[in-house]
Structure formats: structure tokens, C-alpha cells
Amino acid sequence: MVFDKVFDKWDINEVTIVDVGVERHTSLQSVSALHSGGRHAKQQFEQAKVCVVERLINKLMMTERNTGKKLKAYKIVKAAFDLIYEKTQQNPLQVLVDAVQNAGPREDTIRLRFGGILVPKPVDVTSQRKVDQALLFIAHGAQKCAFKSKRSMERCLADEILNAAKNAKCYSINKKEEKERMAKAAR
């Protein structure tokens, strides 16, 4: 059963994805509760079929404060989407997709061993890893902003998504640029 709205508010048919590589790995097919129960874990590329909002919720659960608390992460993302809509009057799904496109690194480094030394070598990032890294950077940026702060997690997540969508200065864009700078230095 496929629904056309996320959180029963935001229409997924209005969202356009510009980056062709990101489009294949950014699913907007939604389920009513945004809870796939790990059905994507059976094969390697099944993760691309999971809704990008659920993947963001799963990334928010990766720290020790929110481990296993999917309902809490669900409410955080839902409230952040409402804040995004209040600020921009745009579909928050479109803003999230733009943020994922902007925050994903294009280059990364790997370490190769030559003899007894490790040498960094730049490589292009696959589109699936680009989406995963972008969602992880957005989630970490929101958590760092809200930790020991008066600002709520919802407000920090909304600000992180908005700034990443605008390609403005924020944690996720800084991490992307840092990875690309390290790859450029390794050439």
C-alpha cells in the first residue's frame, strides 16, 4: 500500500530531484508509518528503496541518546518539517532533497598500503554513499547543535536542513567540503 503523502501533509508528487545520481538512491515512496522494519537489509541495494525521510529518522537514532527510540526521532523530524514549512512556505520534502543533494560529498579518500606506509588516494563517491553521507552529516549537525544548548532538536534539525538546502554555512556543508578538500590534497 503506497501513500502519496509523508506525515499525511507533504505531497511526494511535488518533489523534483535534479541530480541524476542521487535520484536513483533517493526514494520518495512512503509508507503510512515510515517504518520498514529492516526489510531493506536483505540485499545490497535494497536500501535505495527506503523513503529518504525514514532514512533520516534512522540516522537520528544512531547516537547514544536516541538509540532505538524511533518514535522520538519520528516526532523530531515531523516537528522539524513543520518548522521548515513555517519558515519557507515550501514543501519540506523538496527542501530535504535539495539538502541531500548539496551536502553529499563528490570525492573521498581511501588508504592504500604500499610496503609499510599508508598512502591516501582520492576516489569518486558512489551515489548511494553520497546520499548516506549527506543524511549522516545532517543528523550529526543537528545533534551537535542541540547538545548542551537551549535550542530544541527540532529547531536545530530544521535549521541544518534549511542551511544545507541553501548551500549556506552549516555542519553538513563544512563536513562535505572537508572531505573534498582532503581528497584534493591527496591527488
pTM here is: 0.89
**pLDDT of amino acid 1:** 47
**pLDDT of amino acid 6:** 81
**pLDDT of amino acid 32:** 56
**pLDDT of amino acid 143:** 93
Q: What letter represents residue 28's amino acid?
A: L
Sign of CA dihedral 98, 102, 104, 106: positive
SS3 category, 177: helix
The alpha helices in 13-51, defined as continuous H runs, are 20-24
Per-residue pLDDT of the chain (187 residues; tens, 9 = 90+): 456 788 888 888 888 888 888 888 888 776 555 677 766 666 777 777 788 888 899 899 987 778 888 889 999 999 999 999 999 999 999 999 999 999 999 999 999 998 889 988 999 999 889 999 999 999 999 999 999 889 999 999 999 999 999 999 999 999 999 999 999 998 8
| Residue the block writes with cell 525514514 | 54
| DSSP code, position 117 | E
CA atoms of 37 and 27, how far apart (whole Å): 16
Domain range list for the chain: 5-185
Residues paired with residue 5 on neighbouring β-strands, in sequence order:
11
Q: Who's near 17: CB < 8 A, 6+ residues apart? A: 23, 26, 97, 101
**pLDDT of amino acid 41:** 66
Segment (H or E) for 140 = helix 127-146
Is the CATH code 3.40.50.720 the one for domain 5-185?
Answer: no
**pLDDT of amino acid 33:** 59
